[in-house]
């Protein structure tokens, strides 16, 4: 039975769950990943070039199998064998394990890009459907081309284009020229999100209300301030 003292003295290996959850996506099989973990555990214990014979015994494998797995890790660029000089000027070998984390970072970036691309395609479909619903007809090839220009060249998001469409509908301006004018106006004001559009609409509404109140105040008839209660009767 292992004592608590032995358990604590053995130390711990800390690894991100992201690596545990994604090692197969990184093209590692379980045996390759287990060897990488053994090397990583040795690294955290201060040993950058551990004895592979001991690792083979720990993993219940032959030394030949471990060397084969290590060769796979090197070929797949998860491990880099490096030679460096120590403090005494002597050469020492070590296993650099950082490439695994770099691969994980690239995988996360790729998956995030694919998710954004998928969401963007869904937003484009929704936006195009809104155009056809509001115009009451299918869009022409030229209109599809114009929307593509807004997205690819002007870099307007599908959501922003749909908001510009709504602005045109509210003003009963069912034409692409008006929508483009709205988009250009927002661009000049650095408006790129739904929240910014809503804030701009609130600001404009407030300005209109203030103008209405000012106009109403100017149109009120002038009323004499003469106090008739203090009128003096000349016959009194």
Which residue is it, tokens 């994604």? 22
pLDDT, position 228: 47
User: Model pTM?
Assistant: 0.56
- The neighbour count for residue 167, using CB atoms within 10 Å, is 20
* Exposure string for 29-58, b = 16+ CB within 10 A, e = fewer: eeebbbbbbbbbbbbeeeebebebeebbee
pLDDT tens for the chain, residues 1 to 236? 666 565 556 667 888 899 999 999 999 999 999 999 999 999 999 899 999 999 999 999 999 999 999 999 999 999 999 988 777 778 889 999 999 999 999 999 988 888 888 888 899 999 999 999 999 999 999 999 999 999 989 989 899 999 999 999 988 998 999 999 999 999 998 888 888 888 888 887 888 787 777 766 666 555 555 554 555 555 54
Domains and CATH numbers, the chain: 12-96 (1.10.10.10), 123-213 (1.10.10.630)
């Amino acid at each position: 039975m292992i004592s608590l003292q032995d358990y604590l003295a053995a130390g711990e290996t800390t690894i991100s769950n992201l690596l545990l959850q994604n090692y197969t996506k990184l093209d590692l099989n379980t045996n390759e990943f287990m060897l990488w973990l053994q090397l990583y555990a040795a690294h955290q214990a201060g040993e950058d070039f551990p004895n592979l014979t001991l690792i083979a015994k720990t993993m219940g494998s032959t030394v030949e199998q471990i060397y084969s797995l290590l060769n796979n890790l090197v070929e797949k660029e998860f491990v880099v064998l490096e030679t460096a000089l120590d403090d005494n000027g002597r050469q020492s070998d070590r296993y650099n394990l950082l490439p695994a984390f770099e691969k994980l970072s690239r995988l996360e970036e790729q998956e995030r890009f694919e998710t954004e691309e998928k969401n963007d395609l869904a937003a484009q479909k929704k936006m195009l459907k809104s155009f056809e619903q509001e115009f009451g007809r299918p869009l022409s090839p030229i209109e599809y081309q114009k929307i593509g220009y807004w997205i690819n060249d002007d870099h307007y998001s599908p959501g922003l284009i749909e908001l510009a469409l709504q602005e045109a509908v509210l003003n009963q301006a069912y034409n692409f020229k008006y929508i483009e004018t709205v988009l250009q106006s927002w661009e000049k004001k650095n408006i790129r999100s739904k929240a910014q559009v809503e804030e701009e609409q609130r600001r404009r509404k407030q300005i209109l209300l203030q103008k209405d109140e000012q106009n109403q105040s100017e149109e009120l008839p002038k009323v004499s301030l003469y106090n008739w209660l203090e009128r003096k009767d000349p016959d009194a």
